[in-house]
Amino acid sequence: MEISLQFTEVHSVKNKALGLTEPSGLTFDANGGLWTVSDDTARLFLLDRQGNTLKSLDAPVSGFEGVTYDAQHDRLIAVKEESNEFFIIDLSAGEPVAQRRLSDLDGFAQTAVHFVQTKENKGLEGVAWNPADATLYAIKEGEPGVLLHLSGDLNKVISSVKLTETGVSDDDTALEDIDYSGLAVIPERNLLAIVSDKAARIYFYDLTSGRIKGSAALTKPGKKPGKFKSVRKAEGVAYDPANQSLYVISDKDAELYVYKVVIRE
């Protein structure tokens, strides 16, 4: 399988008036809108596909790093890195309704060794709902990077894997330095698209084999025609099956990038 990304467009999402300056995490809702969070602001933001803010919801805390849409219950699930917590926001009510600590979930003992606190904050960075089986995936940023499979009701850790053991690689970044900042499910291919900030890449993880099937660099147009440069601090990703495109959001530049996913067998 050969996977590549074709850049199609870029939009600014910055909205200083509302506090959307450091976007982190991205997900589509049932209506095709894009939800994101800003880790320095206690709000969740709904964007259109051109990056315009349509509305925002107050959150009980700041520090969210990732967000996903649970289509089964019409709710958002956000993750807070410092405390490794999940916050559930009911969209019909427009307010938070519950929160869960990862350490309180059944089965956490199997992965607890990977969540020993270090000097740097390397906790949960992303979360993604899988519509194929109504379960969740969450990702730990680093030291080490870990992929978690969770029950959809957030009661159980089903499994976990260190990403260094799945075939991750990058020519310009040492394996132990590769971090993970967001993820999205590509359901028709049974893949996860996993974003790395430091590597400026998307890794494609096969949910059947538990292996990386390929990766592609995240680039955007440079100042000179025909020239491209790496995206800085990619922090979230969402997948649109209707046009087979990935939407990637950048913390550093507060921009939304769109890429066509091209897969050749």
Instruction: Please report the pLDDT score of residue 118 as a whole number.
Output: 61
- Give yes or no for residue 120 having a pLDDT over 80: no
Strand order in the sheet with 43-47: 23-28, 34-38, 43-47, 53-58
Q: Which amino acid is at 191?
A: L
Q: HSE, CB side, 13 Å, CA atoms: give it for residue 170.
A: 24
Residues 6 or more apart whose Cβ sits within 8 Å of residue 65 = 24, 25, 37, 39, 79, 80, 81, 124, 125, 126, 181, 235
**Cis-peptide into 225, omega within 30 deg:** no
Q: Is the dihedral of CA 200, 8, 68, 50 positive or negative?
A: positive
What kind of architecture, by CATH, is found in domain 2-264?
A: 6 Propeller (2.120)
What are the extents of the domains in the chain? 2-264
**Which residue spans within 2-50 are E strands per DSSP?**
2-12, 23-28, 34-38, 43-47
Supply φ then ψ for residue 176, to 5 degrees.
-70, -15
**What mean pLDDT is predicted for residues 63-67?**
95
- Give yes or no for residue 226 having a pLDDT over 80: no
C-alpha 236/C-alpha 155 separation (Å) is: 24
Reading the block at residue 228, the tokens are: 């491209």
Range from 101-115, 132-146, 216-230 carrying the lowest mean pLDDT: 216-230
pLDDT mean across residues, the chain: 94
User: For the segment 8-53, what is each residue's pLDDT rounded down to a tens digit?
Assistant: 999 999 999 999 999 999 999 999 999 999 988 999 999 999 999 9
Instruction: Please report the pLDDT score of residue 95 as a whole number.
Output: 87
